[in-house]
Structure 1
Amino acid sequence: MERINYQELVQTILTKHSGNDLDKDTEVQLIFDTKREHYQVINLGWKDQKRVYGCVIHVDIKEGKIWLQRDRTEIRIANELVAAGVLKKDIILAFKAPYLRQFTEFAVE
Structure 2
Amino acid sequence: MARIADYPIYIEEILRNYGQYTPAYGDVEVETVIDREQQHYQLLTVGWNKDRRVWGCIVHIDIKGQKIWVQHDGTEEGVANLLVEKGVPKQDIVLAYHAPYKRQYTGFAVN
Report the TM-score when normalising by structure 1.
Answer: 0.95
Unaligned runs of 5+ in 1: none
- C-alpha separation between the residues in 1 aligned to 2:66 and 2:8? 10
- Percent identity reads 46
The runs of 4+ residues in structure 1 deviating greater than 6 Å are: none
User: Which residues of 2 match residues 88-103 of structure 1 at below 5 A?
Assistant: 88-103=90-105
The one-letter code sitting in structure 1 at the alignment partner of 2:22 is D
Could you say if the C-alpha distance between residues 72 and 2 of structure 1 is closer, same or farther in structure 2, counting changes exceeding 3 Å? closer
Q: Residue 19 in 1 paired to residue 29 in 2? A: no
- C-alpha separation between the residues in 2 aligned to 1:2 and 1:46? 39
- C-alpha separation between the residues in 1 aligned to 2:2 and 2:104? 28
Aligned pair count reads 109
Report the TM-score when normalising by structure 2.
Answer: 0.93
CA RMSD of aligned residues (A): 1.3
Q: Residue 3 in 1 paired to residue 8 in 2? A: no
What displacement does 1:2 show? 6.5
Higher RCO structure, 1 or 2 (CA under 8 Å, sep 6+): 2
